[in-house]
Chain A
Amino acid sequence: MLETKRKEKSILTFPADREIALETNNLQVYYGDNHAMQDASLQFPRYSITALIGASGSGKSTYLRSLNRMNDGIARVDGEIMYRGLDVNADEVDIYQMRRRIGMVFQRPNPFAKSIYNNISFPLREMGIKDKSKIDGIVESSLKQAALWDEVKDDLKRSALALSGGQQQRLCIARSLAMSPDILLMDEPASALDPISTHKLEMTLNDLKEQYTIIIVTHSMEQASRLSDYTAFMHMGKIVEFDTTENIFTNPAVKLTEDYVSGNFG
């Protein structure tokens, strides 16, 4: 036991028959001279929830945001982000097509200043779906998936900004789901929500992993342990440990991880 705890780094890899939705190899992210993410190599198995945990400034949001290139123009990225056999940062990859497949939900709910219905239908129409009944169907199914349908089905014409924070966040999730992505990146989606909304959101995510691969940055270790199948612990721009959530929280291989999950720092 003591032997293993002297490890500095422990990264789980998957057998070849496990389907990987997204993986990064030696990913580096720089903000100017600041090397914000170093040598990040992770695999995200399909139809699972992976939590990224770590103290503020550990680089978890930076890492997440580079996965669908939301850091373009802000940060410089080196290394590989492999999705469906393509490097997300390669010139041949169309960034807009890629982002439709790798969606993102942000820390603070950011619905458009439009009606609930239009929040979902507008990006669909921009995508080229013109058929009204098809759009109606997607609006309904994505709102149902995000567990918001029952609360808003009677006034879809209402401004999205009139919804509560928790409802707005679920609308944002529905909006991302409507694009039928493969992967959903979530950057502390519950941090601006009250406990009841958070609970609803977590139930929603639990249902979603049947069909989506979810990568979620979270501040709350309880949330990570309740929700995720795998957990990566990051510290000062490095991935310290990646394993099943159970292992991370009950039997971490690295001392630093143990200190963090047991609340000794962070």
Chain B
Amino acid sequence: MDAVKKELTRKSKASRQDQRGKLISLACVTLIMLVVLSILYMITSKGLATFFENKMSIVDFFTKQVWNPSAKPQALVGALPMIVGSFSVTVLSALLAAPFAIATAIFMVDIAGKRGRKILQPVIELLVGIPSVVYGFIGLTVVVPFTRTVFGGTGFGILSGTFVLFVMVLPTVTSMYVDSLKAVPQFYREASLALGATRWQTIYKVIIRASIPGLLTAIIFGMARAFGEALAVQMVIGNASILPSDLVSPASTLTSVLTTGIGNTVLGTLPNNALWSLALVLLLMSLVFNLLTRFIGKKGAF
């Protein structure tokens, strides 16, 4: 009897294993936390250096139109052209993609039979996975000449960027919206049809209404992807850091200036710090998009 008692009160191998396992897995989570915090910290401190070390004006950064951080004697860091460029391509491509994504998602969930979905689903998934440089390459060889011929100008510019991003975000928005349409309970549809509503009335008044939070989340997710996309946009936008006056002349985005510029500036100098300020704007915007989807997710059901 006593031997058993002894055994029962002795700390077992299993209990040591458990402590070690919990520690190991906690360490992994902590590592990820550390990565995120150091990204936030480093980009923030680098990005703020423009204003605190180099004493540039924050107001000018957001309102002035001339971007020439290496100008002598007075450097000019007006990021407005890039901010406008980034927001233009993001909003335009989202506006363009939304109706197509809505139609495709509705088609997949409520109109096409099982077979239609079986064909479209993998294709959409494949498109989500196509690397952005491939989109950029197609943009350069197909979209830019197309824009030049149809809309005039050099072909490089916000319009081409919009087209490329439209194709890039379309599958993302579609597949996310498909998920939220699927989450609308089947009895909503049955109840509506049973009341004598047509299919479109059911879709428009019941299904879309019920899935609006999901739709918004999907669109914002698409916008976040468009806003942060670097290479595909950089390849077709023309990379001129001037405030765009129309959609077909060369412009730039935050990401395009970053990718072209970071290798050509010296770390710690104003031209380099100014680029980090652009990265900081990019980072903050991605946090804003994140907050927005979180906010909508809390309110909406599907």
Q: In the complex they form, do A and B come into direct contact, defined as C-beta atoms under 8 angstroms apart?
A: yes
* Complex Cα gap A98–B9 (Å): 9
Please state if B9 and A93 are interface contacts (CB–CB under 8 Å).
yes
Please state if A96 and B8 are interface contacts (CB–CB under 8 Å).
no
User: Which residues from chain A contact B8 at a C-beta distance below 8 Å?
Assistant: 83-84, 86, 93-94, 97-98, 101
B264 contacts chain A at the CB level, 8 A cutoff = no
* Complex Cα gap A25–B291 (Å): 52
B114 contacts chain A at the CB level, 8 A cutoff = no
User: Which residues from chain A contact B11 at a C-beta distance below 8 Å?
Assistant: 94
* Complex Cα gap A168–B172 (Å): 44
Which residue of A83, A86, A94, A101 has the most chain B CB atoms within 10 A of its CB atom? A94
Among residues of B, the one whose C-beta sits closest to the C-beta of A94 is B12
Give B residues with C-beta under 8 Å from A. Answer: 1, 4-5, 7-15
Please state if A94 and B4 are interface contacts (CB–CB under 8 Å).
no
* Complex Cα gap A86–B5 (Å): 8
User: Which residues from chain B contact A98 at a C-beta distance below 8 Å?
Assistant: 8
28 inter-chain pairs at a CB distance below 8 angstroms, sorted by A residue, are: A83-B8, A84-B1, A84-B4, A84-B5, A84-B8, A85-B1, A85-B5, A86-B8, A86-B9, A93-B8, A93-B9, A94-B8, A94-B9, A94-B10, A94-B12, A94-B14, A95-B15, A96-B12, A96-B14, A96-B15, A97-B7, A97-B8, A97-B10, A97-B12, A101-B4, A101-B8, A126-B14, A128-B13
User: Which residues from chain B contact A128 at a C-beta distance below 8 Å?
Assistant: 13
- A92, A96, A101, A126: the one contacting B9 at CB < 8 Å is A92
User: Which residues from chain B contact A126 at a C-beta distance below 8 Å?
Assistant: 14
A234 to chain B, nearest CB (A): 28
Size range of the chain A interface in the assembly: 10 to 19
Overall SS of chain A's interface: mixed
Among residues of A, the one whose C-beta sits closest to the C-beta of B13 is A128
B13 to chain A, nearest CB (A): 7
User: Which residues from chain A contact B5 at a C-beta distance below 8 Å?
Assistant: 84-86
User: Which residues from chain A contact B10 at a C-beta distance below 8 Å?
Assistant: 94, 97
Contact residues, A124-145 vs B (CB, 8 A): 126, 128
User: Which residues from chain B contact A92 at a C-beta distance below 8 Å?
Assistant: 9
User: Which residues from chain A contact B15 at a C-beta distance below 8 Å?
Assistant: 94-96
* Complex Cα gap A92–B15 (Å): 12
* Complex Cα gap A122–B230 (Å): 51
* Complex Cα gap A167–B1 (Å): 35
Among residues of A, the one whose C-beta sits closest to the C-beta of B4 is A84
User: Which residues from chain B contact A101 at a C-beta distance below 8 Å?
Assistant: 4, 8
User: Which residues from chain A contact B12 at a C-beta distance below 8 Å?
Assistant: 94, 96-97
Contact residues, A89-107 vs B (CB, 8 A): 92-98, 101
Given contacts A94-B10, A95-B15, A98-B8, 19 further A-B contacts (CB under 8 A): A83-B8, A84-B1, A84-B4, A84-B5, A84-B8, A85-B5, A92-B9, A93-B8, A93-B9, A94-B9, A94-B11, A96-B14, A96-B15, A97-B7, A97-B8, A97-B12, A101-B8, A126-B14, A128-B13
* Complex Cα gap A128–B11 (Å): 14
Among residues of B, the one whose C-beta sits closest to the C-beta of A99 is B14
User: Which residues from chain B contact A86 at a C-beta distance below 8 Å?
Assistant: 5, 8-9
User: Which residues from chain B contact A95 at a C-beta distance below 8 Å?
Assistant: 15
B113 to chain A, nearest CB (A): 34
Q: Hey, what's the 0/1 contact readout for A72-88 against B, CB within 8 Å counting as 1? A: 00000000000111100
A103 to chain B, nearest CB (A): 15
* Complex Cα gap A93–B5 (Å): 9
B160 to chain A, nearest CB (A): 52
A139 to chain B, nearest CB (A): 21
* Complex Cα gap A208–B301 (Å): 53
Among residues of B, the one whose C-beta sits closest to the C-beta of A128 is B13
* Complex Cα gap A83–B7 (Å): 13
B247 to chain A, nearest CB (A): 57
A203 to chain B, nearest CB (A): 30
* Complex Cα gap A151–B151 (Å): 78
B158 to chain A, nearest CB (A): 54
Contact residues, A111-132 vs B (CB, 8 A): 126, 128
Among residues of A, the one whose C-beta sits closest to the C-beta of B8 is A97
Which residue of B4, B8, B14 has the most chain A CB atoms within 10 A of its CB atom? B8
B6 to chain A, nearest CB (A): 10
User: Which residues from chain B contact A93 at a C-beta distance below 8 Å?
Assistant: 8-9
* Complex Cα gap A101–B6 (Å): 13
* Complex Cα gap A31–B279 (Å): 50
* Complex Cα gap A86–B1 (Å): 11
* Complex Cα gap A94–B12 (Å): 7
A133 to chain B, nearest CB (A): 23
Among residues of B, the one whose C-beta sits closest to the C-beta of A96 is B14
* Complex Cα gap A95–B10 (Å): 10
Among residues of A, the one whose C-beta sits closest to the C-beta of B11 is A94
A82 to chain B, nearest CB (A): 12
* Complex Cα gap A126–B21 (Å): 15
* Complex Cα gap A101–B8 (Å): 9
User: Which residues from chain A contact B7 at a C-beta distance below 8 Å?
Assistant: 97
User: Which residues from chain A contact B9 at a C-beta distance below 8 Å?
Assistant: 86, 92-94
